């Protein structure tokens, strides 16, 4: 029994979503590893992830070092994910040069990354209504580090947005025109 085209398309999308999730999972590991290394290097230099990196135009708001760390992690993981998705998840999709495909992927990732930055800020800011609890996440050990949890949770929340944008834009298949075949007209 052959599956209907709709069921086949749904199964294909589910397969791609699972593959995208596996690639994304490896990207999470890469991202968190870059965050960890960045934080440790900064600590060695006497910088905390909570410290202000730069003030936003003379306001009371600052870009903090954790914003810098997650940006570095995003850029490395985004490049990693693009290559894996290109080779595996969407390998039959519209073949383009590496750079022509990377920039839409990066732009799609930036959309999800902006969501992540907002969430990171809300999770890390003690005055936020969704701030992660400092009594549990008191930065006393790796598993109790608020920055690591905020980073991991924000990645997971932004992942579905990233998949949809990449599926519909970055790795969309080639446009196919359906031509209807009809019986030739009888010759007279």
Tens digits of residue pLDDT in 69-104: 999 999 999 999 999 988 888 777 667 788 888 888
Tens digits of residue pLDDT in 113-122: 999 999 999 9
Nearest to 116 by CA among 10, 31, 9: 31
Collapse the DSSP code of 133 into the 3-class scheme (helix H, G, I; strand E, B; otherwise coil) and give the result. coil
pLDDT of residue 177 exceeding 80:
no
Tens digits of residue pLDDT in 105-138: 888 889 889 999 999 999 999 889 999 999 999 8
Nearest to 130 by CA among 154, 166, 114: 154
What residue spans define the domains of the chain?
28-170
Alpha-carbon distance of 28 to 79, in angstroms, equals 12
Tens digits of residue pLDDT in 16-54: 888 888 998 899 899 999 999 999 999 999 999 999 999
The overall pTM is greater than 0.85: no
What are the DSSP E strand ranges found in 33-115?
Answer: 52-55, 62-64
Alpha-carbon distance of 146 to 158, in angstroms, equals 18
């Amino acid at each position: 029994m052959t599956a209907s085209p709709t069921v086949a398309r749904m199964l294909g999308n589910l397969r791609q979503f699972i593959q995208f999730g596996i690639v994304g999972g490896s990207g999470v590991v890469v991202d968190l590893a870059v965050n960890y290394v960045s934080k440790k290097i900064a600590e060695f230099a006497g910088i905390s992830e909570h410290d202000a990196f730069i003030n936003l135009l003379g306001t009371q708001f600052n870009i903090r070092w954790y914003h810098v760390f997650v940006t570095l992690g995003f850029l490395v993981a985004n490049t990693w994910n693009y290559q894996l998705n290109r080779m595996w998840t969407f390998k039959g999709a519209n073949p383009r040069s590496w750079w022509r495909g990377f920039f839409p992927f990066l732009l799609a990732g930036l959309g999800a990354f902006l969501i992540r930055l907002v969430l990171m800020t809300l999770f890390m800011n003690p005055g936020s209504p969704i701030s992660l609890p400092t009594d549990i996440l008191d930065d006393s050990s790796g598993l109790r580090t608020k920055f690591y949890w905020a980073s991991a949770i924000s990645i997971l929340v932004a992942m579905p947005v990233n998949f949809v944008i990449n599926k519909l834009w970055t790795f969309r298949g080639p446009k196919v025109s359906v031509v209807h075949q009809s019986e030739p007209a009888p010759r007279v």
